[in-house]
């Protein structure tokens, strides 16, 4: 198993942190990991992208990849170029508050309105943690527990006071996506006309 995930969005959404946490969680679970971040010169509002490659064995893909298994999209800026890298049947996991549709019909699309959920939770900057929790819960690429531990290890000292809020946001994302997936499964299995 080798999976390539591209995180994309704009500066200030936590793109680089999300990728670093996922990479750390995968390493904690004994997987081989490669991480490569690309971002513009602006701290806020400029394009931000990070690639994580996770494998059960030695990684064959370079950190700059022509094709990927999944894209995690927090913002539509630059998204078309990144979605073009998705393999057919790849997964676009979107912050549906900001990322509305994909022009491709040969990929799977999932996600949740993370920015709106973060606002409702009273923590607008927490949308990235909601998306990360939902992504790992839906895909099983790593466990939610490993993600929480990795988040605690990855937060810089001056951000450690946010750890418990981030745990709540990661769990909120995981619970929300599993609830949605369960509702879709129940609907799909319901008798016609129900």
- Whether 143 maps to a domain, the answer reads yes
Give how many domains the chain has, as a whole number. Answer: 1
Tens digits of pLDDT across the chain (194 residues): 899 999 999 888 889 999 999 999 999 999 999 998 876 655 566 788 999 999 999 887 666 788 999 999 999 988 989 999 999 999 999 999 999 878 789 999 999 999 999 999 999 899 999 999 999 999 999 999 999 999 999 998 999 999 999 999 999 999 999 998 876 655 444 444 33
Cβ(180)–Cβ(114) below 8 Å? no
- Whether 190 maps to a domain, the answer reads no
- Whether 138 maps to a domain, the answer reads yes
- Whether 75 maps to a domain, the answer reads yes
- Whether 194 maps to a domain, the answer reads no
What per-residue confidence (pLDDT) applies to 71? 96
Q: Residue 146 belongs to what domain range?
A: 2-184
CATH of residue 24: 3.40.920.10
What per-residue confidence (pLDDT) applies to 167? 97
What per-residue confidence (pLDDT) applies to 101? 78
- Whether 193 maps to a domain, the answer reads no
- Whether 14 maps to a domain, the answer reads yes
- Whether 192 maps to a domain, the answer reads no
> At CA 132, angle to CA 131 and CA 135, rounded to 5?
85
Claim: this prediction has a pTM higher than 0.85:
yes
* Rounded CA separation 24/61 (Å): 18
């Amino acid at each position: 198993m080798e999976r390539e995930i591209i995180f994309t969005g704009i500066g200030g959404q936590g793109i680089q942190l999300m990728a670093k946490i996922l990479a750390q969680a995968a390493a904690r679970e004994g997987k081989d990991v490669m991480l490569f971040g690309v971002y513009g010169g602006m701290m806020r509002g400029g394009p931000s992208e990070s690639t994580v490659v996770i494998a059960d064995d030695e990684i064959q893909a370079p950190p700059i990849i022509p094709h990927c298994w999944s894209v995690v999209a927090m913002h539509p800026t630059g998204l078309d170029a990144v979605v073009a890298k998705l393999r057919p049947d790849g997964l676009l996991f979107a912050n549906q508050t900001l990322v509305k549709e994909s022009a491709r019909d040969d990929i799977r699309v999932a996600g949740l309105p993370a920015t709106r959920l973060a606002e409702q939770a009273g923590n607008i900057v927490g949308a990235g943690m909601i998306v990360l929790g939902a992504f790992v819960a839906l895909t099983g690429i790593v466990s939610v527990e490993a993600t929480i531990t990795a988040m605690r290890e990855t937060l810089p000292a001056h951000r450690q006071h946010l750890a418990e809020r981030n745990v709540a946001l990661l769990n909120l994302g995981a619970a929300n996506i599993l609830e949605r997936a369960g509702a879709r499964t129940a609907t799909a299995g319901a008798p016609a006309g129900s």
